[in-house]
Structure 1
Amino acid sequence: MKCKSISLSFSVRFFALQRKILFDRTQVLETQCRMIFEAKYKPKSEICRLFVLFILIFETFYSCKEVGDPNPYAPVLTKTALSQSEYYVGLEQNVLISRIFNLDEESKNYINELNRIDGFDESPSQVNDFEKFRSVLAQALNSFEDPVRSLLLKKLIRIYVCENLGGSAVSGIVRDSDNPIGGFVILDANTLNRKANEWISYKESSTFQKGSLKIKIKIESEEQNTQTNALRYILLHEFGHILSETEKIGPSFFASKRSFANFDFYKEVWKSEKVSYLDENIFSLRPKLRFYSESFALDPNWKQIYPVLAETPFPTLYSATNADDFFADSFVSYVHVILDKKAWELEILENNKSIYKMENGIRKDSLLKQRKIIERIIRP
């Protein structure tokens, strides 16, 4: 009762102040109205008051509008049973392998809805050799150590596997009422077709048209260059999206409109989900880059891409595609490079001769604030 009375007292003072501000604003607008129109039109004071009222109503409506980019995925996330904690059982089990499932009807419908929005024709199906994929995925999960393992046990609620996803993986959020408590990941079993270095090199190259230049990325030693570690990297990236929601790093994926303006992780880097502060004067080619599209020529443009990227706050090219992937790829970069002390080296080759090299940029001074935020998540 004490808290309620304090809250009520605050509300009374707040609305009294708002009435005073509204009254003062009305007086100012009415005076300005007379000054502007009186000499020529000599309007009656009632007309001026109506004009002032119209301005105030417009200002109030505009200030209360939800700001940000439209979010077409919000209805899908809201209506799917996958987003509700009641859909899951056995969350108390501390064995990650017990959370791996083959595609079911609900997860299939979820992917189909996402593909419809994104314009993909693929429709997923169950994995025929589920136990084989489950075994490889279990190896990837068991490779994680604390503190990342503890985070996964707490917030990675389910992993679905399928074929014909339309990409490597997608993720989603699980809520208890309206409170995000974790999330789920859906993986395409075809990711097993490539080892770690080959997979990430293919992913990076998917942005560009085929030409004389080649991109090669190394994230694992020869001994550790396995399909399991490719899955491990993919899982970490998708888990980053889940952490973004549960840790309130960015705007909610459930919001009908999403604005990144007031979130520390994105300040001075992202104006909105797809528009960066660096687009005009620093990284002008960034908005043209599209992964899995092979729509951009690397050969004549690489000097305006990778050397420029190295001078920006983006740790990887994929982190520069949009604000959401800026966090997810920063997270996987932090775990992979800083926590696990693994390599991340990109090389551009011409006729099998190296012409440019760069490392993952997660250690850059321009990412100090982002590293501290990720560190607080991993080691609260």
Structure 2
Amino acid sequence: MQRKILFVLAQVLDIQSRMFLCRLFVLFILTFETFYSCKEAGDPNPYADVLSSTPLSKIENYVRLESEDWASRIFNLDKQALDYVNELNRVDGFSESPSPVKDLETFKSTLIDALNSQSGPVSSLLKNKLLRIYVCENLGGSAVTGIIRKDNRSIGGFVILDANTLNRNANDWISFKENSAFQKGNIKIQIRIEEDRQNTKTNALRYILLHEFGHILSETESIGPSFFLPKRSYTNFEFYQGVWKSEKVSFLDDSRFVLRSKIRFYSGSLSLDANWEKIYPILANTQFPTLYSATNADDFFADSFVSYVHVVLEKKPWELEILKNNKPIFRMENGITKDSLQSQRKILERILAN
């Protein structure tokens, strides 16, 4: 009898041991698959090495960060900033190589006016997180941004501005930028973001800085995948849900907005005359507040941020007209107040409330 009990007990223990080992194996497989999928998720990030290797991303490169004096944070282009831009341009396929600006003090005065014009939570965020501004010429665009880290944590960023391309008042600058995506023809775009009395170079700079600062906020507030990751996935980030599949692929690309992926600012590659009806009337009914926000997921956040500050907080105009032979044929406003962007606005509200 005792032998029979011991035999049965041994069988039970054997079954339990096998079940335990089986569960352990399944857990191992699931853990491995989760780790592997996390490791491999997302698209390759060609900028990761540039950001990680530049001295500009290291806190040791910065001094007097406690100062709120903007003049102490504005520099002419130096070798480190030049090397950084050249690497970015190499990745992007641009041939431009910037140079230091000839008259820094004049531009610096306008820049300080633009920074001091900010108020409330926007001003506080800028002072806490915009740690340096470089000024140059022949950048290849209006501005580029970089991130500053301390102990492997992103704490702020820097911006490099092109003084020449920013030598326009606010309405002329943003109209130039919008038209830069298209070939010259009988149709052109005109955008108004300031009333006549406020249509100044200072306010153009103000708008540009807010957009670039949006990229810094995205990183420091973990709105999207870090710019330092070798692969970036937007899948689990609320701001991009239902809008972006990846950095450059939208949920609308195969259906409603098929021309979106062909739009390249500062390229003059697409005919506006032939394609405006396939772009702007569709844009007005999407979750993209502006055309620039539709170019990629990162600019979706940055342009949503500047749109929110400009239109919602400051209640300034943002009106786009398409002109044919100087006569309006289409009008639209900035779409940041659309019902479809309610969840994005709530996230922006949270950032500005902190």
TM-score, normalization: structure 1? 0.85
Residue 96 (structure 2) aligns with = 122
Cα distance in 1 between the residues matched to 2:142 and 2:34? 45
Q: Which residue of 2 aligns with 1:6?
A: none
Displacement, 1:66?
2.2
**1:193 Cα deviation from its structure 2 partner:** 2.1
Tell me the alpha carbon deviations over residues 61-96 of structure 1, each in whole angstroms, 9 at most, x when there is no partner: 853532111111101110111111111000011122
Counterpart mapping for 1:1-380 below 5 A: 20-21=22-23, 23=25, 62-63=36-37, 65-380=39-354
**SS of residue matched to 1:211:** coil
Give 1:23 deviation, angstroms. 3.4
How many percent of aligned residue pairs carry the same amino acid? 69
- Paired with 2:210 and 2:34, the residues of 1 have a C-alpha distance of 43
Distance in 1, Cα, partners of 2:300 & 2:206: 19
Task: Output the amino acid matched with 1:85.
Answer: I
Name 2:16's counterpart in structure 1: none
1:96 partner letter: W
Deviation, 1:22, is 5.2
Distance in 2 between residues matched to 1:76 and 1:150, nearest whole Å: 29
**8 A Cα contact 1:271 1:277, kept in partner:** yes
Supply the distance in 1 between the matched residues of 2:31 and 2:283 (Cα, whole angstroms): 46
Q: Secondary structure at the match of 1:230?
A: helix
Alpha-carbon distance, 1:18 to partner: 10
* Cα gap change, 1:307 to 1:178, in 2 (>3 Å): same
1:23 match: secondary structure = helix
Do the aligned partners of 1:169 and 1:187 also contact (CA within 8 Å) in 2? yes
Distance 1:68 1:139, change over 3 A: same
Contact residue 248 and residue 295 of structure 2 kept, 8 A: yes
Residue equivalent to 2:15: none
One-letter amino acid of the counterpart of residue 217, structure 2: L
Secondary structure of the residue that 2:246 maps to in structure 1?
coil
**Paired residues of 2:76 and 2:136 also in contact (CA < 8 A):** yes
Measure, in 2, the Cα distance between the counterparts of 1:282 and 1:142: 42
Unaligned segments of structure 2, at least 5 residues: 1-18
Q: CA deviation at 1:25?
A: 8.6
Report the residue type matching 1:238 in the other structure. Answer: E
Give the alignment's Cα RMSD to 1 decimal: 2.0
Deviation at 1:56, TM superposition (A): 9.5
- Give 1:60 shift: 7.5
1:289 aligned partner, one-letter code: I
Distance 1:196 1:74 in 2: 33
Mapped to 2, the partners of 1:217 and 1:349 lie a distance apart of 11
Given that residues 142 and 166 in structure 2 are in contact (C-alpha distance below 8 angstroms), is that contact kept between their aligned partners in structure 1? no
Greater Cα offset, 57-66 or 119-128: 57-66
The offset of 1:58, in angstroms, is 9.4
Normalising by the residue count of structure 2, what TM-score does the alignment of the two structures yield? 0.91
Asked if structure 1 preserves the Cα contact closer than 8 Å seen for 2:166 and 2:173, the reply is: no
Match of 2:11 in 1: none
Query: What is the rounded CA distance, in whole Å, between the counterparts of 2:61 and 2:327 in structure 1?
Result: 53
After superposition, the Cα gap between the structure-2 partners of 1:62 and 1:142, relative to the gap in structure 1 and judged at 3 Å, is closer
One-letter amino acid of the structure 2 residue matched with residue 165 of structure 1 = L
Matched positions, count: 336
Residues of 2 paired with 1:97 and 1:282: CA distance? Answer: 47
Per-residue deviation, residues 204-229 of structure 1 (Å, max 9, x unmatched) = 01111111111000001111111111
